[in-house]
Amino acid sequence: MSALMMVRAALPSVPVVNQLPGIRKTSGAFTGMSRSGEPVAIERGHVDAFAEVCGFPVKDTVPLPYPHLLAFPLQMEIMSDPGFPAPAIGTVHLANSITTRRPIAVGEAVAVTTSVGPAQPHPKGTTYQFLTVVTVGGEEVWEETSTYLRRGKGDPSASSGPVFPDAEPHGVVWKLPGDLGRRYAAVSGDHNPIHLYPLTAKALGFPRQIAHGMWTMARCVAALENRLPDSVRVDVAFKKPVLLPGSVAFGSTPVDGGYAFSLTSPKDGTPHLSGRTTAL
């Protein structure tokens, strides 16, 4: 998120300020909200920068997770709206699912729409599912569901999220530098302070800065990219945060219709991410 967007997202979490008109969250039942952007042309420089920081090869088509960067500002607009029940700061990205119908070419003009429905129960609070649809000339080419958790009184009987086949690490370890969050933020626009510096992360309860969840997803997809079909779904669940600098162990294994994959701590096996791909 931009600096201005970050401030707007943070204000509903600031005591006293969060009671001001235009910032105060409205009461009443939340039935949903949506935002749409004007069609934009995919720019080569931005795609190449994303590919570099996430480990993708340079191609004339965009990496599978790239359109999330176009959806993210719309998600933040919704979360920052007084009509959305939960503040953006402190809301946790729990899971993500991306479906691509066909490759999107660099230079194509895409239209992006993001919507969210009412809260859903979760054992640790409530979740909101943001659905993003990307179209080219009216053709739906890409879809994403981002699930965000707002911690609070939960429902022990509710689902805690998706479960995927095991994918044990097989010797591939990635060493992640301390500035990875800042590098990904420069490309993605997600400047959440938990990803930037030790001081800003500590202010929000982390021992030091953490990697973006969507970077961990993108890096895993990049590792599998040359084995995935043009039409595919990728589902992930985000587990424990990845502290920066740090190391993560990647694992993958064939499963029916695709691959299961994971990121864990190479020291103690702490899970950071699990997921799978499914050919369509």
User: 153 and 125 in contact (C-beta within 8 Å)?
Assistant: yes
Q: Long-range contacts: 17-22, Cβ < 8 Å, 24+?
A: 18/87, 22/82
Predicted pLDDT at 22? 52
Same domain, 115 and 189: no
Predicted pLDDT at 107? 98
User: 259 and 186 in contact (C-beta within 8 Å)?
Assistant: no
Domain boundary among 133, 160, 187: 160
Same domain, 46 and 81: yes
Domain boundary among 129, 160, 191: 160
Same domain, 148 and 268: no
Same domain, 273 and 230: yes
Residues of the chain short of pLDDT 70, as ranges, are 1-27
Domain boundary among 143, 160, 177: 160
Same domain, 198 and 241: yes
Same domain, 167 and 154: no
Number of domain units in the chain: 2
Same domain, 152 and 40: yes
What are the phi and psi torsion angles at 113 (to 5°)?
-130, 130
Q: Which residues of 132-159 are buried (b: 16+ CB within 10 A; e: fewer)?
A: bbbbbeeeebbbbebbbbbeeebeeeee
Predicted pLDDT at 16? 40
Same domain, 175 and 153: no
**CATH value at residue 251:** 3.10.129.10
Owning domain of residue 270: 162-280
Same domain, 205 and 153: no
Same domain, 152 and 185: no
Same domain, 152 and 167: no
